[in-house]
Amino acid sequence: MEEFKPRLWAEGFRRGVQGKEATLFLGDGSPWVWNLADELFPHAIQVLDYWHLCESVWKASHLIFTDEEEKRHWVENITEKMLRQGKVDEVIKTIKSTTIRTEEEKKAVETLLGYIENNRKRINYPFLEQKGYPIGSGITESACKRIVGARHKQAGVRWSKTGVQKMLNLVSFMDIALCDLPSCSWRYRIF
């Protein structure tokens, strides 16, 4: 963390987060992530990654329901019909009204409710989508898979730790340099 924090701040500064465009800070809901955002980028709009939230809803559904159709309906209702529409209070009511039969189900519901309640202010997906901002980290995760996976995990390729780091630095630098060109199509910055 001590190495990551100054690097994150420097990258944010390099990209000009101090003012002209909205700065988004996407996170998975972990408290340390939001503490870092508050410390380094207090002006940033904090966003709970929609897909991490969906994953948490699915995880709870597997502990609560045995019927696959019930699971699918419950998850779809919560994620697409409520959370995506910004109806956080309805989500909380729906989860609280779910029939609980076991201690394991009770714990799953409490965990999910805590996750949503602790991140309530970061679940404003209609506003973000209206502005054209991302609600998930898919762009970043895809870039990581492309840079690390596709280019460096090919069949028969072997790297030393030092060698792969040098190549990742070079590839990342090239991608960043290309993105900084006037023709770059990025409309927003993600941190």
Sequence-distant (6+) residues with CB within 8 A of 15 are 189, 191
pLDDT tens for residues 158-182? 778 787 777 777 766 655 555 554 4
- What tokens appear for 49 in the block? 């990654």
End-to-end CA distance of the chain: 16
Cβ pair 77, 83 in contact under 8 A:
no
Q: What is the pLDDT of residue 95?
A: 95
CB 131 within 8 A of CB 22: yes
Give per-residue pLDDT as tens, 94-153: 999 999 999 999 999 999 999 999 999 999 999 999 998 889 987 777 767 776 676 667
Residue 91 neighbours by CB distance under 10 Å: 24
- Looking at residue 97, the DSSP 8-state letter turns out to be T
Token duo for residue 116: 């949503």
Considering only 37-41, 80-84, 177-181, which range has the smallest mean pLDDT? 177-181
DSSP 136: S
What CA–CA distance (Å, rounded) separates 16 from 108? 41
Write out the two tokens for 189.
């910055």
Cα 186 to the center of its chain, rounded Å: 18
